[in-house]
Amino acid sequence: MVKKYAILLMVLIVTLAALPACTRSATGSATGLITATAELPFEFTGGAQMTAIVAGTQTAAVAAGTPASAVTVAPPEVTPDVPLPTPTETLEPSPTALPVFEWTPTPGRPQTHSVNQGEYPYCLARRFNVSLEDLLAANGLYEGSQLAIGQELKIPADETWPEEYPRRLMEHPTEYSVSAGETVYTIACLFGDVDPNAIIGVNGLEAPYTLEEGQVIYIP
């Protein structure tokens, strides 16, 4: 008889192990577990020891059938560093170089000079490196005399401009921006010792040598 009950007990254990899902709730907690004092589904007189074995076996089966909650945490998506575009360096345009024409000045001091618009005795004396008094005396003029355009002047050959007064009034060579009303002759007088023919030559100007306001010319 005991052998019969043992066989039935083994069948019961196998059955309970195969159906773990029927003995737990949706939340994963086991329900309906047979405790040590639970009643067996059939009559058994093996005593409390056999009841505890059956209850422990069923509880172990249910526990074995409960899967652990597997929570997969996806690694955070890493955005690769995108290099920022390199700012394009803006290069300032280099100033256009003025064309400088070859010009050979006439050596020595001229014997005569025809007056151009904007020229006056002080200007001519500085330019030709002569004394103002001698220039005026050679032409029958006096200080403050007005010169006429085209007037022919004699240029003294032996006199020089006084050393205590500078002939050069502005530094050159340089570039010069023309103001309204200026001519090559007034600009030459502004620099003091510059020959207007040199300005005409190095800038490739053609008669009547008209200059425009804002025009940049080279002063040799």
Q: Where are the domains of the chain?
A: 2-64, 112-219
Fold type of domain 112-219: Membrane-bound Lytic Murein Transglycosylase D; Chain A (3.10.350)
* pLDDT score at 61: 45
Separation of alpha carbons 88 and 72, rounded Å: 47
**Concatenated DSSP letters of 146-163:** PPPTT-EEE--SS----T
* Poorest-pLDDT segment among 7-16, 75-84, 211-220: 75-84
* pLDDT score at 96: 61
Mean pLDDT on 62-89? 54
Residues 121-178 have pLDDT tens digits of: 999 999 999 999 999 999 999 888 899 999 999 999 888 999 899 999 999 999 999 9
* pLDDT score at 211: 96
Is residue 116 pLDDT above 50, yes or no? yes
pLDDT band, residue 109 (cuts 50/70/90): confident
Mean pLDDT across the chain: 74
Q: What is the pTM of this model?
A: 0.55
Residues 164-218 have pLDDT tens digits of: 999 999 999 999 999 999 999 999 999 999 999 999 999 999 999 999 999 999 9
Residue 64 makes CB contacts below 8 A (sequence gap 6+) with: 17, 20
Which of 134, 99, 97, 105 has its CA nearest to residue 193? 105
54, 6 in Cβ contact below 8 A? no
